[in-house]
């Protein structure tokens, strides 16, 4: 039976159980009772486990060293679900203490399994939203990596911060404007569209695009921005027509 097959009261009780079991394991310097939650096939069970790690980290400073010891051990697991949960747990800590979990992201970014790599992307998103300065500085170091998938994943990972603070990620995105890998440039165009439709964002994006040199890519990005204003019209501040008029008036072709 999956997490959301349970009644709310049962879900609440299960979350409490997960928190209690993990806390008990940490106090005893072990993970043998917690590991079943880290490896559960149900996404929401694993989520409850990594959220528990985050809560315990902040509420019980005396258990922080035990947490890192357990995460280090579990990161060596052959089970990708366990490694994925470790990365997500590290992401909870990295919202405020990125320096303590950077090495997990460095490792997870090159994991052989896409689930673990995707967990890094998700963690970049949530960490970058709360703790942007060190997270974006770390991301910048990978934007010229020879592995195209690393460049693409980092580009995707910084998107969420850009939705509310496009000025924070536009200089990083600009380093990819001449990337000749289609998967990377497609992701770049997608991200530019995603960071341009909320309040005050379109003017920031268009102003920055005026400093870019790759005209072909810019045109694709502007087309995507216009399209996003239609696809997300319920959430966009401007209508599609208003976005078109703004671009025509302010982008220096």
Does residue 154 sit within a domain? Answer: no
One domain for residues 17 and 136: yes
One domain for residues 134 and 65: yes
One domain for residues 222 and 113: no
Does residue 203 sit within a domain? Answer: yes
Q: Which domain holds residue 200?
A: 161-253
One domain for residues 212 and 132: no
One domain for residues 53 and 136: yes
Model confidence over 16-73: pLDDT tens digits? 999 999 999 999 989 999 999 999 999 999 999 999 999 999 999 999 999 999 999 9
Model confidence over 75-89: pLDDT tens digits? 999 999 999 999 999
Token output for 17? 């159980």
Q: What distance lies between CA 113 and its chain's CA centroid?
A: 17
pTM: 0.91
One domain for residues 253 and 128: no
One domain for residues 186 and 99: no
Model confidence over 111-161: pLDDT tens digits? 999 999 999 999 999 999 999 999 999 999 999 999 999 999 999 999 999
Does residue 147 sit within a domain? Answer: no
Does residue 155 sit within a domain? Answer: no
Three-state DSSP string of 81-141: HHHHHHHHHHHHHHCCCHHHHHHHHHHHCCCCCHHHHHHHHHHHHHHHHHCHHHHHHHHHC
One domain for residues 132 and 208: no
Q: How crowded is the C-beta side of 50, counted as CA atoms within 13 Å?
A: 27
* Mean pLDDT for the stretch of residues 233-241: 96
Number of structural domains in the chain: 2
> In this structure, what CATH number is given to the domain that contains residue 60?
1.25.10
């Amino acid at each position: 039976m999956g997490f959301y097959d349970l009644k709310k009261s049962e879900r609440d009780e299960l979350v409490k159980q997960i928190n209690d079991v993990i806390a008990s394991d940490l106090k005893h310097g072990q993970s043998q009772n917690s590991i079943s939650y880290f490896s559960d096939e149900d996404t929401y069970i694993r989520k409850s486990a990594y959220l528990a790690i985050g809560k315990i980290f902040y509420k019980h400073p005396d258990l922080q060293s035990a947490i890192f010891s357990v995460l280090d051990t579990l990161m060596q697991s052959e089970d990708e679900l366990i490694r994925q949960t470790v990365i997500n747990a590290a992401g909870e800590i990295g919202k405020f203490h990125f320096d303590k979990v950077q090495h997990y992201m460095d490792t997870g970014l090159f994991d052989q399994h896409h689930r673990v790599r995707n967990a890094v992307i998700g963690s970049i998103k949530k960490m970058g939203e709360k703790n942007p300065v060190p997270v974006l500085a770390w991301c910048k170091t990978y934007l010229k990596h020879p592995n195209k998938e690393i460049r693409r994943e980092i580009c995707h990972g910084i998107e969420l911060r850009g939705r509310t603070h496009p000025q924070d990620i536009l200089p990083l995105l600009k380093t990819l404007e001449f990337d000749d890998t289609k998967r990377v440039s497609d992701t770049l165009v997608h991200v530019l569209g995603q960071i341009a439709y909320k309040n005050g964002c379109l003017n920031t994006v268009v102003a920055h695009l005026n400093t870019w040199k790759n005209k072909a890519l810019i045109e694709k990005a502007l087309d995507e921005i216009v399209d996003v204003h239609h696809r997300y019209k319920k959430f966009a501040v401007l209508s599609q027509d208003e976005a078109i008029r703004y671009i025509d008036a302010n982008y220096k072709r």
